[in-house]
Amino acid sequence: MDGVGEWATTSVAIGSSNKLEMTREIHFPHSLGLLYSAMTYYTGFRVNSGEYKVMGLAPYGEPKYAQLIFKHLIDLKDDGSFRLNQRYFDYCTGLTMTNHHFDNLFGGAPRGSDEPLTQRHMDLAASVQAVTEEIVLRITRALAKETGQKNLCLAGGVALNCVANGKIQRDGAFENIWVQPAAGDAGGSLGAALAAHHLHLGNKRKVSTNGDAMRGSYLGPSYDQEVIESRLTAAGAKFDTLNESSMLELTAQALADGKAIGWFQGSMEFGPRALGGRSFIGDARSPDMQKLLNLKVKYRESFRPFAPSVLAEDVLDWFELDGDSPYMLIVSNVVEKRRRQMSEQEKNLFGIDKLNVARSDIPAVTHVDYSARVQTVHKRTNPRYHALISHFKKLTGCPVVVNTSFNVRGEPIVCTPEDAFRCFRGTEAELLVVGRSVLWKERQDSTLAHDHKDTFNPD
């Protein structure tokens, strides 16, 4: 499910052995991804990057416009197939996603990127999210009933909607759900390689017996400790290189002390989610960590939620997640016993006013609806990150840390040690750990500082 590939926008295939048999498709201009992107544009965010913001904004609103969307924008059938009413869209023939008919339907022109977010925009986000969830649930329920299949794989940009993925999992139509971690356009490279290997050359498929073959999605470049030290020295960094145990203990203690930390380890992740290879991390117990990371590290909107990294063996003690989520692509709720009871006054707050209310024992990763975009951390695929969180658990009793991508607004995730040092110098993060090398902010040459705050426009 995506915006548009060639002409297919939603497609279904059944896999057996090394073959994929396409069974149905929906074609452009009828597209669930483009419907979501139309609302992304209308609420003032950038198409093809701001969809995450719409998803994050949705819990602050009510789906007041959902029925309006169903009545005027989309003809949805029981099996999830749909057609969009092109009267309201301009992406086929014009230069914008929507047109004046769309404006009239929803009561105004698109929000400018520099205009304030209002409750109306939050309600619009909640509405398109609710519509998306209804469509994907109709598709998956119908497929399970028609095919009798027990396993479901999801790909395409819409499969990055981890809230909808969580709804699919909890719905229970399929026993096992797997979401490709590079589900967007980048995953096409992997699909092309697999198609050539299996479909064109006819090679047999080897099924992994120990987790999936993506191996945690740590498929990018990595750097030996000697190379890390050489590159950091050339970049002008001042650092100490510790043994493994000392590095983990120091970093865990810094987390417990409330520090924002750049964490650069092992191979880079493939896909849009940082998974403990190129991450900013923090203490999930801190009520101030979300705002700190958003405003002083990432330089982005304060409402944007952060994901928890949790030891896989401890996930059920903290989240209502029946299974693994190694790629941070399934949203589940914080378990009841970890939630905080809110006062009547707090319950009656609306919109962005909900943001500063601590909702659980891990407020930095608990969204306003008690949900969290969970990453389960496995010793097999990321032993160093698993060891760090284990050290943090020994110190605090909590096996959960905040995890967000190691970049600032408008830049890609860092790849090299030099990237990490440059990004770190331009933020208010206090500690950078690259391999076993530890860099404190106050020890660095102030003339090397780079101000990221106004470098890039909002995404």
Supply the CATH number for residue 259's domain. Answer: 3.90.870.20
Residue 113 within a domain: yes
* Whole-number pLDDT of residue 342: 75
Distance CA 232, CA 239 (A): 8
Average pLDDT of the residues of the chain: 92
Residue whose pair of structure tokens reads 């059938």 in the numeric block? 77
User: Around Cβ 7, how many Cβ atoms within 10 Å?
Assistant: 10
161, 231: one domain: no
Tokens of 106: 């929803």
Residue 1 covered by a domain = no
Confidence of residue 448 (pLDDT cuts 50, 70, 90): confident
Please tell me which residue, 324 or 290, carries the higher pLDDT value: 324
pLDDT at 377: 97
Is pLDDT at 451 greater than 70 in this prediction? no
How many Cβ atoms from other residues are within 10 Å of residue 144's Cβ?
17
**DSSP 8-state symbol, 357:** S
Q: Is residue 236 domain-resident? A: yes
**Two structure tokens written together for 346:** 């707090």
For residue 455, is it within any domain?
Answer: no
Look at residue 83 and tell me if it is in a domain.
Answer: yes
Helices (H), 237-323: 244-256, 289-292
State pLDDT tens for residues 382-410: 999 999 999 999 999 999 999 999 998 88
Query: What does each C-alpha distance from 141 to 124, 148, 154, 402 come to in angstroms?
Result: 26, 10, 14, 33
> What is the percentage of the chain residues whose pLDDT exceeds 70?
94
Residue 194 confidence class, pLDDT cut points 50, 70, 90: very high
Judge if 164 and 259 occupy the same domain.
no
Domain identity same for 76 and 173: yes
The H-or-E segment that residue 75 falls in is strand 74-76
Q: Which amino acid is at 298?
A: K
Q: What is the DSSP string of 369-425?
A: TSEEEEEEE-TTT-HHHHHHHHHHHHHHS--EEEEEESS-TTSPPP-SHHHHHHHHH
CA distance 12 to 83: 17
Do 234 and 183 fall within a single domain?
no
Same domain for 172 and 302, yes or no, is: no
Q: Quick one: pLDDT at residue 207? A: 85
**Residues 132, 47: one domain?**
yes
Amino acid 353: pLDDT: 67
Residues 202 and 270 in one domain: no
Q: How confident is the model at residue 355 (pLDDT cuts 50, 70, 90)?
A: low
What's the confidence (pLDDT) of residue 305?
73
Nearest to 450 by CA among 404, 418, 405: 418
450 confidence band (pLDDT: 50, 70, 90): low
pLDDT higher than 60, residue 455:
no
* Boundary of a domain, candidates 180, 206, 232: 206
Could you tell me the pTM of the whole model? 0.91
> Looking at residue 306, what is its pLDDT?
86
- Residue 458 pLDDT > 90: no
Average pLDDT (288-301) is 75
Q: For residues 256 and 127, state if they share a domain.
A: no
Looking at 206, 224, 257, the residue that finishes a domain is: 206
pLDDT of residue 165: 96
Residue 338 predicted with pLDDT over 80:
yes
Q: Which domain holds residue 251?
A: 216-448
User: Does residue 224 form part of some domain?
Assistant: yes
State residue 238's pLDDT score: 96
User: Is the pLDDT reported for residue 456 higher than 60?
Assistant: no
Q: Is the pLDDT of residue 118 over 90?
A: yes
- Summarize the confidence of residues 230-236 as an average pLDDT: 97
Report yes or no on 137 lying in a domain.
Answer: yes
Position 200 pLDDT exceeds 90: yes
Residue 390: burial class (beta carbons within 10 Å; 0-12, 13-18, 19+): middle
Mean pLDDT of 337-349: 78
Residue 365 lies inside a defined structural domain of this protein: yes
What is residue 310's predicted lDDT score, i.e. its pLDDT? Answer: 98
Task: Record the tokens describing residue 235, joined without a space.
Answer: 């970049």
pLDDT band of 350, cuts 50, 70, 90: low
pLDDT at residue 172, as a whole number: 94
Q: At 112, which CATH number?
A: 3.30.420.40
What is the arithmetic mean of pLDDT over 175-193?
93
Q: How many domains does the chain have?
A: 2
DSSP states along 166-189:
HHHHHHTSSSEEEE-TTTTTTHHH
Q: Are residues 343 and 380 in the same domain?
A: yes
Nearest CA-CA partner of 139 in 125, 120, 156, 114: 156
The counts of H helices and E strands in the chain are 13, 15
Above 90 in pLDDT, residue 240? yes
Average pLDDT score over residue span 199-207: 92
pLDDT at 343: 73
Compute the distance between CA of residue 213 and CA of residue 211 in angstroms, rounded to an integer.
7
Average pLDDT (276-287) is 95
What pLDDT is attached to residue 459? Answer: 52
User: Is residue 348's pLDDT more than 80?
Assistant: no
Instruction: Please list, in sequence order, all residues whose beta carbon lies within 8 angstroms of the beta carbon of residue 447, skipping any fewer than 6 positions away.
Output: none
Q: Given 152, 171, 206, which residue is the final one in a domain?
A: 206
Hey, what's the torsion of the CAs at 146, 152, 155, 161, to 10 degrees? Answer: 100
